[in-house]
Structure 1
Amino acid sequence: MKEKFKKGIILVLELILCILNGVFLYIIPDSGVWGIRSYANIFGLISLIIGGIPVIIESIREVFHKNLTADILFSIALIATLYLEDFFAISLLIIMMGAGEFIEEWTINRAHGSLESLIDLQPQICHKKIRETENSSSIEDVSVDKITPDDIIIVKQGERIAVDGIVISGSADVDQSALNGESIPTFMKYNDKVLSGSLIVDGYLEIKCLFPAHESSIEKVIRLVKTAQEEKSEFQTLTDKWAQFFAPIIICVALIAWLITQNLYLSVTILVVACPCALVLSVPTAFVASIANAARNGVWVKSGDSIETIGKIDTVMLDKTGTLTTGNL
């Protein structure tokens, strides 16, 4: 979140500098060598220092590590534009790059927010029943990580079940929609199995724990979503494979264009059009966002390949009424 805020502030500042640059350069007439045009160039230079220099430094580091990324195209374009002393173009370039990175960061943060909403389904504290004597017991609030199999926990109305277990006492209407999509609360009683992450709508349950918290149903769902977001799809793997050849090819094309035409602006244009590499940025961002949006709506995706396969589906079969319908026969 801090990184997103920082990039947002820098982007706004770059936009202000670009506007000032354009106003002093094109709207207010020039008044001499160190007149209005000089002020415009100063704004462009400040823009370069704030948004361009960090990218150039990072690109140089990547080159030393023999890793040519799309950022190297952006850096070369900046340096060439600086040589041409076109500071307004520099400001525009930096805004283009900054806007792309900000949108990517914003999308990924939203996706992580969806994952955090899943984590919120897992209680951190639960009421553990401790037997003191044969006829008496006490209740102690403990971290869910300290709950072990055969421990007994108490879940009251309005609370979420912390671990998977078996009901040994009490009864309740339990909302399990976050896990199985069942829209109507299920009545749970003695000897019924309950799942972590479920919500007690009405009633009271004493539950005998079956598994540690890290093996609970909701933890498995969280791990599933995390794995799906991190796992690369076939298409994403392909784009990553070709991305390493992308920058050298574009640099060669721009160099050839300059040698043939002697027009540095044309070469810079080729570099600008190619960066930031939209294909490399958009594919992982799109998959992460899709998986997160699906999770937000109670659909668990196992991998990025599953997202690609959805586009080929022509028939959907549902195992019960009420999953996607109103529940009326």
Structure 2
Amino acid sequence: MNAKRTSQITAITGLLLAVAIGFHLYGFHEGRQTMLIAATILAGIPIASKAFKALKMKAFSIELLVTIAVVGALFIGEYVESAAVTFLFLFGAYLEARTLEKTRSSLRKLIDMAPLEATVIRDGETQTISVDDVIEGDRVVIRSGEKVAIDGRIVTGKASLNEAAITGESVPASKMIDDRVFSGTIVDHGFIEVIAERVGDDTTFARIIELVEDAQESQSKTEKFLDRFANIYTPSIVVLSVLVYIFTRNIEMTLTFLVIACPGALVISAPVSIVAGIGNGARNGVLIKGGDIMEKLAKIDTVVFDKTGTLTRGKPEVTDIHSIEIERTDLLRLVAEAETISEHHLGQTIVKEAKKQGLQLLSEPQNVEVIKGNGIQATIDGKVLTVGNRKLMDAKDILIDSEMEAYATAREKEGNTAIFASINGKISGILSIADQIRPEAKKALRELRASGVRQIIMLTGDNRHTAELVGAQLGLDQVYAELLPEEKVAMIKQLKAAGHRVAMAGDGINDAPAIATADIGLAMGEGGTDISMETADIVLMADRLDQFSHAYSLAKATVRNMKQNTFFAVGTVALLLTGVLLGKVFLASGMLIHELSVLLVILNAIRLIRYTKRKSFNQRKIKFDLQAQ
């Protein structure tokens, strides 16, 4: 039965009860009884219907307990009690549905942001079509105030885009030719034309909605336990009610015991907190893939970071090209042509630099061999190019003389990554690439420590000098450099074997194995690869580390909220049942308190929707600073 139907029946039942009160005040006893019975039947039918459907599925529901109690109350002539119980139960269900709807508001707002139409240029004509009819390769026109309907790259124009639907960031982002745009974002001002690369359900925005929907439907361990508990608890209450009647011979006390023992607040205590927490994350650009992930995240004590694109901006620049027996531009062109097929940040940086210098990349790389974590080898114009780090040069028996080694070490100590380039087995140059530490990184790591993270470690395939420089600037506990993907996995396993709860954050394809191995895997969404996003348990859509610190403190707050709700629900039922057995709590009053407990549990969970880490962080920071002194 939907919320609208429930509200209608609840309103009519309430009206009948009001009329019954009026009849009572004016002494119309028969009219009062008729109104009470009518109210009981009207409100009782949907309750009994749900109980019957549950029985057909061999399940003992809360509605079954209420139905038994109402039939019993009618049988003994307690019409006031029967009408009050059915009305309160139905009214409670209506309020519960309305209140729970608020916890899903973040998802609903996301869905409302979905674009419905797109303007495309086909056969030289501009036409507006349904977003479902856009195909890959379409040239899509987006003007000021319009929503982006596809994922793609800008080919003409520039604009300022509001990407809050994707990243949770309200500050507009400037976009120009070759920049990527995402479905669901809005052009604040400007004009762009975009070639559609992803359409329909394949867009980033559609995937976000799907991930959040799946996450809100998935269950945490606490929820699964409560479901199993309720399946045992409900029939047990029926048996206990029979025992109460056998020992007391008081049918009214027995019926009250039956109704008051309904585990309504207990059953929803965990799900409502999880849904609210996941909704808060989605609104802040953090995709948490389920209640189980939320509980695991709250227990993390060790965080492991990749460097490039995670602790650093992921937007490195070529700072120097040192060539031997070849022109610098020729070396850059050859290396860039080899790197055109690379997904690695550093490879794409070299390609970007070549285009920036106006070089034409015409040759297709042949005999390509990508060595994850080390580099690439390919044939260009008949020349065998080997591009990568020292390990790759050693593996291919390419000699690095003392002069080149000294130059590379000097560049690395200045914070650069040295990329060796060899032509036909001989070192022909070194390309220096530097990346800046994310501006929010230091604050985010401090917040993580204040929230309960005990150690922060960096695992990177980059050189030792650059890694140690970054580690010192950020105050990391440990730094491990020049690692292959499988070595990162081994380090994660070692940490887990030592008893640590480990989260791994990365963004590249080479990080996917380590992300999958960790207790919690995090991927940087906007700049991350598809495989790292699919592998990860949590996706940070704005590529901001402060989103991670928000997710961690949110997870702790959500688990804390679940525990509060569970304690309150169990405590309320225990107190009410004690009151029933002592003859202090009766059917109508007990039912009212029971429904109020359900609403209080929901209202407590709703606080998570507006949760921000700022206030709780400030409180923990004081404690953290005191401990550090």
TM-score by length of 2: 0.46
CA-CA distance at 1:90 after TM superposition? 0.9
Give the aligned partner of residue 472 of structure 2: none
Give, as a single letter, the amino acid of the residue that structure 1 aligns with 2:12. Answer: L
**Greater RCO, CA 8 A, separation 6+:** 1
Say if 2:118 and 2:149, in contact at 8 Å, map to a contact too.
Answer: yes
Change in Cα spacing, 1:63 to 1:116, as seen in structure 2 (3 Å) is closer
Structure 2: runs of 5+ lacking an equivalent: 301-450, 457-543, 551-612, 615-629
Please give the alpha-carbon distance, in whole angstroms, between the structure 2 residues aligned to 1:102 and 1:175.
37
Alignment of 1:111-122 (within 5 A): 111-122=103-114
CA-CA distance at 1:293 after TM superposition? 4.3
Q: Pick one of 83, 92, 95 that aligns with 2:75.
A: 83
Give, as a single letter, the amino acid of the residue that structure 2 aligns with 1:277. Answer: G
Please give the alpha-carbon distance, in whole angstroms, between the structure 2 residues aligned to 1:239 and 1:81.
29
Deviations 1:214-237 (A, max 9, x none): 111111110111001111111111
Give the aligned partner of residue 215 of structure 1: 202
Please give the alpha-carbon distance, in whole angstroms, between the structure 2 residues aligned to 1:301 and 1:190.
32
Say if 1:174 and 1:186, in contact at 8 Å, map to a contact too.
Answer: yes
RMSD: 2.6
SS class of match (1:183): coil
SS class of match (2:287): coil
Please give the alpha-carbon distance, in whole angstroms, between the structure 1 residues aligned to 2:99 and 2:87.
18
Alignment of 1:142-221 (within 5 A): 142-221=129-208
Please give the alpha-carbon distance, in whole angstroms, between the structure 1 residues aligned to 2:37 and 2:284.
47
CA-CA distance at 1:97 after TM superposition? 0.9
Give the aligned partner of residue 319 of structure 1: 545
Q: Pick one of 50, 74, 89 that aligns with 1:97.
A: 89
Give the aligned partner of residue 541 of structure 2: none
Give the aligned partner of residue 5 of structure 1: 4
Please give the alpha-carbon distance, in whole angstroms, between the structure 1 residues aligned to 2:117 and 2:225.
44
Give, as a single letter, the amino acid of the residue that structure 1 aligns with 2:261. Answer: A
SS class of match (2:114): coil
Change in Cα spacing, 1:206 to 1:68, as seen in structure 2 (3 Å) is same
Point out the more displaced range, 115-124 or 83-92: 115-124
Say if 1:121 and 1:218, in contact at 8 Å, map to a contact too.
Answer: no
CA-CA distance at 1:248 after TM superposition? 1.1
Please give the alpha-carbon distance, in whole angstroms, between the structure 2 residues aligned to 1:269 and 1:175.
56
Say if 2:144 and 2:188, in contact at 8 Å, map to a contact too.
Answer: yes
Please give the alpha-carbon distance, in whole angstroms, between the structure 2 residues aligned to 1:157 and 1:90.
60
Say if 1:74 and 1:271, in contact at 8 Å, map to a contact too.
Answer: yes
Give the aligned partner of residue 59 of structure 1: 51
Give, as a single letter, the amino acid of the residue that structure 1 aligns with 2:43. Answer: G
1:127 aligns with 2:119: yes
Point out the more displaced range, 140-149 or 10-19: 10-19
Give the aligned partner of residue 17 of structure 1: 16
Change in Cα spacing, 1:189 to 1:70, as seen in structure 2 (3 Å) is same
Please give the alpha-carbon distance, in whole angstroms, between the structure 2 residues aligned to 1:60 and 1:181.
45
Change in Cα spacing, 1:142 to 1:91, as seen in structure 2 (3 Å) is same
SS class of match (1:88): helix
Point out the more displaced range, 275-284 or 141-150: 275-284
TM-score by length of 1: 0.85
Give the aligned partner of residue 232 of structure 2: 245
Please give the alpha-carbon distance, in whole angstroms, between the structure 2 residues aligned to 1:245 and 1:46.
33
SS class of match (1:197): coil
Deviations 1:40-88 (A, max 9, x none): 1111111122111332244234334422111110011001111111111
Please give the alpha-carbon distance, in whole angstroms, between the structure 2 residues aligned to 1:200 and 1:290.
29
SS class of match (1:145): helix
Point out the more displaced range, 7-16 or 253-262: 7-16
Please give the alpha-carbon distance, in whole angstroms, between the structure 1 residues aligned to 2:106 and 2:546.
27
Give, as a single letter, the amino acid of the residue that structure 2 aligns with 1:71. Answer: E
Change in Cα spacing, 1:53 to 1:197, as seen in structure 2 (3 Å) is closer
SS class of match (2:169): coil
Give, as a single letter, the amino acid of the residue that structure 2 aligns with 1:269. Answer: T
Please give the alpha-carbon distance, in whole angstroms, between the structure 2 residues aligned to 1:179 and 1:128.
23
Give the aligned partner of residue 32 of structure 1: none
Please give the alpha-carbon distance, in whole angstroms, between the structure 2 residues aligned to 1:3 and 1:22.
29
SS class of match (2:198): coil
Please give the alpha-carbon distance, in whole angstroms, between the structure 1 residues aligned to 2:4 and 2:202.
35
Alignment of 1:295-314 (within 5 A): 295-308=282-295, 314=451
SS class of match (1:203): strand
Please give the alpha-carbon distance, in whole angstroms, between the structure 2 residues aligned to 1:10 and 1:312.
45
Say if 1:107 and 1:285, in contact at 8 Å, map to a contact too.
Answer: no
Aligned length: 311
Give, as a single letter, the amino acid of the residue that structure 2 aligns with 1:66. Answer: K
Give, as a single letter, the amino acid of the residue that structure 2 aligns with 1:117. Answer: K
Say if 1:73 and 1:275, in contact at 8 Å, map to a contact too.
Answer: yes
Say if 2:152 and 2:182, in contact at 8 Å, map to a contact too.
Answer: yes
Say if 1:157 and 1:203, in contact at 8 Å, map to a contact too.
Answer: yes
Q: Pick one of 17, 21, 31 that aligns with 1:39.
A: 31
Please give the alpha-carbon distance, in whole angstroms, between the structure 2 residues aligned to 1:38 and 1:320.
67
Say if 1:21 and 1:88, in contact at 8 Å, map to a contact too.
Answer: no
Please give the alpha-carbon distance, in whole angstroms, between the structure 2 residues aligned to 1:289 and 1:210.
33
Point out the more displaced range, 101-110 or 147-156: 101-110
Give, as a single letter, the amino acid of the residue that structure 2 aligns with 1:172. Answer: A
Point out the more displaced range, 268-277 or 214-223: 268-277
Give, as a single letter, the amino acid of the residue that structure 2 aligns with 1:319. Answer: L
SS class of match (2:158): strand
Please give the alpha-carbon distance, in whole angstroms, between the structure 2 residues aligned to 1:293 and 1:320.
15
Change in Cα spacing, 1:64 to 1:157, as seen in structure 2 (3 Å) is closer
SS class of match (1:166): strand
Structure 1: runs of 5+ lacking an equivalent: 30-35
Give, as a single letter, the amino acid of the residue that structure 2 aligns with 1:155. Answer: I
Change in Cα spacing, 1:6 to 1:296, as seen in structure 2 (3 Å) is farther
Please give the alpha-carbon distance, in whole angstroms, between the structure 2 residues aligned to 1:296 and 1:182.
9
Give, as a single letter, the amino acid of the residue that structure 2 aligns with 1:119. Answer: I
Point out the more displaced range, 265-274 or 143-152: 143-152
Please give the alpha-carbon distance, in whole angstroms, between the structure 1 residues aligned to 2:270 and 2:546.
35
Give the aligned partner of residue 33 of structure 1: none
Give, as a single letter, the amino acid of the residue that structure 2 aligns with 1:6. Answer: R
Which structure has the larger Rg over C-alpha atoms? 2
Q: Pick one of 274, 279, 283 that aligns with 1:292.
A: 279
Say if 2:234 and 2:262, in contact at 8 Å, map to a contact too.
Answer: no
Q: Pick one of 51, 61, 64 that aligns with 1:69.
A: 61
